[in-house]
Amino acid sequence: MSLEKVKQALSTVKYPGFSRDIVSFGLVRSVEFEDGKAKVSIAVSTSDSSIPPAIRDGVETALKAVPEVTDAEVSVVMSGKKPAGPSAPQGASPEGGIPGVKHVIAVASGKGGVGKSTFAVNLACAFAEILKADGKTAGIMDCDIYGPSVPLMMGLSGRPYVEGESLIPMEGNGLKVMSMGFLVDEDTPVVWRGPMVMKTIQQFSQNVKWGEIEILVVDLPPGTGDAQLSLVQTIPLSGAVLVTTPQPAATQVAKRGARMLEKTNVKILGVAENMSYLEQPDGTRVNIFGEGGGQQTANDLKTDFLGQIPLDQSIREGGDAGKPIVVAEPDSKIAQSFKTIARDILSRI
Ligand code: ADP
């Protein structure tokens, strides 16, 4: 009974700067309670050294408020950092990693509508194309709970097969694909989706038979809130790419996205600019959405600018037809731009 009270007390402790509590973020590793003594172990993945002590203080205060607790031992460890000692046995995934998956990179944006999913899908196809030569594969995990658009963009529908406890990813355009869209009914109100995120993501990372995958692209939900933080806490990432549009006003929004990533250990691999310009038939460029935002964002974040993707009808058409432009027109200038960005990222991880 009192153990329940201890757990309840923990669920009142908010992650610093967020409205979600440490229990629902999945940070509590163990809780014990015996003879008035509560022993709590918490694991966080962050580069911000003020977070662990803030969480410890919050937990101690919450435990003191439980009358049955006379003594508390709270440990907060940094997860994601490999403990010193013998290395993991061959074939085992790194601590908290996705079995079989070597690198996971997230594609993030400060807000919706900048073409994040379009970028993520084409980037994943570019990885698949590049890695094919070495007999390696790529995948995409669509975690956009609010508008999972990857199934449409990959030309996939239906539900994934279930094998025992595991889900089998769908396959399309040379990629293994898992999406919230395969599991969440279109009619499910958005308000129900938030609480489903953690569980689904855990399932996506632990119960999906990805097989051997060199690089898995994760399409994060747009924005910088709790869902994003849950995700980056749950999945150990090799890094993240920020997508922005060129108008200088977008820089502020993109930087908010970057700050969210910095709260955890996630390395920002660079900034990509989408819808950079419209090329006219005579070759001149019109900067419909302004210019310079991508480079500016990269400068402000002291990271690299990965490149520009133009606004182009064939990109939108490829998305709607389930054949991303990298697959539909592999020799086009735009496909080459995606492949250049993909090679650049591969050289950084
Ligand atoms: P987000 O994931 O940021 O919400 P999407 O990738 O879903 O954005 O893109 C929104 C819409 O814009 C889609 O219809 C997509 O086809 C289109 N789109 C995205 N990038 C481009 C581009 N570079 N050129 C033309 N259309 C694009």
pLDDT at 233: 75
Q: How confident is the model at residue 198 (pLDDT cuts 50, 70, 90)?
A: low
DSSP designation for 283: S
**Domains and their CATH numbers in the chain:** 2-78 (3.30.300.130), 101-348 (3.40.50.300)
- Judged by average pLDDT, the poorest of 73-82, 151-160, 186-195, 279-288 is 186-195
138 CA distance to ligand 1 middle (Å): 22
Please state the separation of Cα 41 from the chain's center in Å. Answer: 25
- Among 5-19, 268-282, 315-329, the minimum mean pLDDT is found in 5-19
| DSSP three-state, residue 327 | helix
Q: b/e per residue, 20-44, with b = 16+ CB within 10 A? A: bbbbebebbeebebeeeebebebbb
Determine the Cα–Cα distance for residues 25 and 42; give it in Å rounded to an integer: 11
Q: What is the pLDDT of residue 1?
A: 63
CA distance 322 to 328: 9
Distance 118 CA to ligand 1 centre (A): 5
Tally Cβ neighbours within 10 Å of residue 1.
6
Q: What pLDDT score was predicted for residue 192?
A: 60
Looking at residue 143, its amino acid is C
Per-residue model confidence (pLDDT) at position 91: 33
Handedness of CA 194, 195, 198, 200 (dihedral sign): negative
Q: Measure Cα distances from 291 to 249, 296, 310 in Å.
A: 10, 10, 11
Closest CA to 173 of 138, 210, 142, 198: 138
Q: What separation in Å is there between the alpha carbon of 139 and the centre of ligand 1?
A: 20
What spatial distance separates the first Cα and last Cα of the chain, rounded to whole Å? 48
Question: Rg of the chain's alpha carbons, rounded to an integer?
Answer: 21
Q: Read off the pLDDT band of 292 (50, 70, 90).
A: very high
**How far apart are the CA of 189 and the centre of ligand 1, in A?**
23
Ligand 1 surroundings by CB, under 6 angstroms: 109, 112-118, 149, 222, 274-275, 309, 311-312, 315-316, 319
Question: Considering only 86-90, 315-319, 323-327, which range has the smallest mean pLDDT?
Answer: 86-90
Q: Are 73 and 40 in contact (CB under 8 A)?
A: yes
Going by C-alpha positions, the residue among 204, 230, 176 that lies closest to residue 99 is: 204
- Does residue 163 carry a pLDDT above 90? no
Question: pTM (2 decimals)?
Answer: 0.77
- pLDDT confidence band for 197 (50 / 70 / 90): low
What pLDDT does 90 receive? Answer: 33
pLDDT band at 20 (very low <50, low <70, confident <90, very high): confident
Share the mean pLDDT of the chain: 86
User: Which uninterrupted H or E stretch holds 244?
Assistant: strand 239-244
- Which of 153, 316, 338 has most ligand 1 atoms within 8 Å of its beta carbon, as the pocket-test mutant? 316
Summarize pLDDT for 53-103 with one digit per residue, the tens: 999 999 999 999 999 999 999 998 876 443 333 333 333 344 457 889 999
pLDDT in the model for residue 82: 36
**Can you tell me the mean pLDDT for 112-127?**
95
Residue nearest to atom 16 of ligand 1 (CA): 316
Query: Can you tell me the mean pLDDT for 120-134?
Result: 97
